[in-house]
Amino acid sequence: MTSKDGVAFDVEQGLIELPGTPVRWIWAFTCPTPKCACRVAIVLSAPGAREILLERGRPVADAWLGHAHYGQAAQDLQDVVAFAIDLDTLTLFPPVGDAPLDAAVQPGVKQVADRLDDDALDTIARVWHRGKREQPPPEPGADGAKIEVEGWRPGDLVVWDDARPSLRGDTYIFDERIFEALELYCVEPDCACGEVIVDFGAVVPRGAPHPGHIEFDGEAATLRPGHERQRERLTELWTAYCARHPRHQERFARRSATMHGLAGCIVAAPPKPKVGRNELCPCGSGKKSKKCCGVA
């Protein structure tokens, strides 16, 4: 346990053993600036025991704790694989600089990145919250607590992020367009349909056409483009999703079981009060509704 800014902080909480063989540990360092929305973590790795990485990566830990340039410290390490990763897009970067890193020409980086599964990435995301002196999102449905989902009715599928902690986004970038994948699951008790929908929404630019969604019936996936002109884009997104989640069928089965376990906790959220167009927007922006969230 080490003190940072007078607050007790365990700098070793970013030490994570990766799945698979041979034994490989990573040490993740996330942005410590409280109000910064940066989602990048610097990852160190060295083959062998945890103590090896602790010894070799100590200069980065010291720089992080001392408000020094820990990215540069990572760049200067010898006999350690070091890279930065965006937790939402999984884009790789060198420890210093903002040009994307081609892991294919960096064998050491690729070996580590390929073993970063959902559990490891979620652990890094929790480190991200703690590094900013925040608590990670609470576990919904704990002790039978209700999970309120806006507009939900019995029989509707439920978005995973509405029912479980949203630690990371599942974001995809194509040129200057950004898309986010949302997974929807059946929560009917005792239902064995295996139905899953992966919906790809356009985030940037605002108002861009909806590419569509994927319907998975437990065995096969069917593409449902928002419009036939979007079929090529939806195919690209699904291909990128499968590359990021090569064991997506196992992922769907595991998450489906989790969602079924929350079935009794999910209820419809109370309707939101109507806000006049000339009233202040309830989001807290200080703008009138018609100039903010009330924009058609």
Query: pLDDT band at 144, cuts 50/70/90?
Result: low
pLDDT value for 252:
94
Q: How far is CA 110 from CA 12, 25, 168, 291, in A?
A: 23, 14, 21, 46
pLDDT value for 284:
66
Burial of 97 (0-12, 13-18, 19+ CB in 10 A): exposed
pLDDT value for 14:
94
- Percent of the chain that is helix, strand, coil (3-state, to 5): 30, 25, 45
Of 1 and 86, the one with more pLDDT:
86
pLDDT value for 237:
97
Provide the residue ranges of all domains of the chain, joining segments of one domain with +.
Answer: 2-131, 142-268
pLDDT value for 190:
81
Residue 8, pLDDT > 70, answer: no
Of 83 and 271, the one with more pLDDT:
83
Structure tokens at 233: 């884009």
pLDDT value for 1:
45
* Per-residue pLDDT reduced to its tens digit, 146-161: 888 888 998 899 999 9
What is the Cα–Cα distance from 120 to 124, expressed in whole angstroms?
Answer: 6
* Per-residue pLDDT reduced to its tens digit, 194-248: 899 999 999 999 889 999 999 999 889 999 999 999 999 999 999 999 999 988 9
Residue 188, pLDDT > 90, answer: no
Of 167 and 276, the one with more pLDDT:
167
Mean of pLDDT values over 68-73: 96
How much is the mean pLDDT over the chain? 88
Helices (H), 14-145: 50-65, 70-75, 107-113, 118-131
The enclosing H or E element of 223 equals strand 221-225
Residue 283, pLDDT > 90, answer: no
118 within 8 A of 251, measured Cβ to Cβ:
yes
pLDDT value for 105:
84
pLDDT value for 290:
66
Of 74 and 275, the one with more pLDDT:
74
Helices (H), 198-291: 231-244, 248-261
Entry field: residues in the chain: 296
Q: Please give the full DSSP string across 142-196, using - where no structure is assigned.
A: GGG--EEETT--TT--EEHHHHS------EEEETTEEEEEEEEE---TT-----E
